[in-house]
Amino acid sequence: MMSHKHLIAAAAAILLVPGAALAHHGWSSYDAGKTLKITAPLTSIAWRNPHGEAKVNYNGKTWAVVLAPVARMEARGLTEAMIGGGKPVTIEGYPRKDGVPEMRIERITVDGKTVELR
């Protein structure tokens, strides 16, 4: 039989899981049938896990850009310094289906080097 402390801890864990799942968007939210290709500087970069994030101005809106996990980007030769500092990059990926200005990118090209992120 579970102790009172264990029961409370288990209940708290059950309540937290749905929130964590909702906080991280699934790939089904993006429209793989509509590829966007944007060449512009990234206006901000968050080099963190579970995946990096950036912002880019496109068609009069600030778009959120979902990158890959840091370890994957670095293993494939992409560093935060390469894509920062206002340098133009080309990003290719998919917009969200619901019209929110956010895209999940598949590849990024900087200084003539293309890095596959997925």
Task: CATH number of the domain at 80, please.
Answer: 2.40.50.140
> Is residue 99 in a domain?
yes
> Is residue 1 in a domain?
no
Contact 94, 30 (CB under 8 A): yes
Which contacts (CB < 8 Å, 24+ apart) does range 56-63 have? 56/91, 58/101, 61/101, 62/101, 63/38, 63/101, 63/102, 63/103
> Is residue 69 in a domain?
yes
Burial of 53 (0-12, 13-18, 19+ CB in 10 A): middle
In this predicted model, what pLDDT tens digit does every residue of 54-81 receive, in sequence order?
999 999 999 999 999 999 999 999 999 9
pLDDT score of 109 more than 60: yes
> Is residue 10 in a domain?
no
> Is residue 96 in a domain?
yes
In this predicted model, what pLDDT tens digit does every residue of 2-38 receive, in sequence order?
555 544 444 444 444 443 333 445 679 999 999 999 9
Q: How many domains does the chain have?
A: 1
> Is residue 7 in a domain?
no
Structural domain for 78, as ranges: 27-116
Model pLDDT, residue 38: 97
> Is residue 105 in a domain?
yes
> Is residue 75 in a domain?
yes
